Structure formats: structure tokens, C-alpha cells
């Protein structure tokens, strides 16, 4: 059962923009939070951004001011708009969901609590 499906990755020159999308199943969308992580070659997966059920957003310092997370509740889709892309943004980007059976178990801070993952979409930034 596919729960999260990313799209929108691709190749772009430094300074360019891309917008990633992640379609989520009804069950897990915006339960506690939706987020984005990335993994560059030879590196560990790292946090990029999340938006929680209360609309609070957080970003990694490395993307603040350049990336924007948003969601469309009707479409059950979360987006990551990436501007001023840098070569070091090159990575596989993963959509993630923090899902709890009881929403009372949601925390405002979802980093480290994501338990559903998409298959990833490649973003390549070149000079």
C-alpha cells in the first residue's frame, strides 16, 4: 500500500528553482506533521523541513530563506518549493509523515518522529 508519492525532482543549474510535490494517503496526511528530508551521496539522511497539523513550520538552517514548505489539504499534498538552489542541495529528497493513531500523541516537534517515508526523488544541481 503506497502512502507517500513524491514528484518534481530533476536537474537544474545553480541559482534555479524546483518544486517538489508529495501526494499522501488520506490516513496519514497531516496527522501530526508532514516533512522533507534529503540524503546526498555518501552522507546520512538529514532534515530539511516540516509543517505540522497546527501549521507550524521549521527549516534546516541550510535551507532557511530559500525553501518553502506548504500543503494543500484538499489535494492531500505537501510541497517543497526550492529557490536559489546550490550544488550542495543535490540529493535524493524524501517526503515523510509523522503519524500517530491518537493525535494526542503528536508533538509540536516532529524531527526524529517521522515514521512513513516516500521512495524519494532525485534533485541534481549543477554549475
**Cα–Cα distance, 108 to 47 (Å, whole number):** 15
> Of how many residues is the chain composed?
127
What's the pLDDT score for residue 56?
A: 96
**Residue 19 parent element (H or E):** strand 18-24
Instruction: Give the residues of the chain that fall short of pLDDT 50.
Output: none
What's the pLDDT score for residue 1?
A: 72
**3-state helix, strand and coil shares in percent for the chain, rounded to the nearest 5:** 5, 45, 50
What's the pLDDT score for residue 90?
A: 98
31, 97 contact by CB (below 8 A):
yes
Amino acid at each position: 500500500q503506497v502512502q507517500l508519492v513524491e514528484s518534481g525532482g530533476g536537474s537544474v543549474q545553480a541559482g534555479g528553482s524546483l518544486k517538489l510535490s508529495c501526494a499522501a494517503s488520506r490516513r496519514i496526511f497531516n496527522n501530526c506533521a508532514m516533512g522533507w528530508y534529503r540524503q546526498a551521496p555518501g552522507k546520512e539522511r538529514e532534515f530539511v523541513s516540516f509543517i505540522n497539523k497546527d501549521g507550524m513550520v521549521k527549516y534546516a538552517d541550510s535551507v532557511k530563506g530559500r525553501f518553502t514548505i506548504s500543503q494543500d489539504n484538499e489535494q492531500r499534498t505537501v510541497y517543497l518549493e526550492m529557490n536559489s538552489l546550490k550544488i550542495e542541495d543535490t540529493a535524493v529528497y524524501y517526503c515523510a509523515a509523522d503519524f500517530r493513531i491518537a493525535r494526542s500523541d503528536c508533538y509540536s516537534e516532529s524531527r526524529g518522529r517521522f515514521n512513513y517515508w516516500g521512495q524519494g526523488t532525485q534533485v541534481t544541481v549543477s554549475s
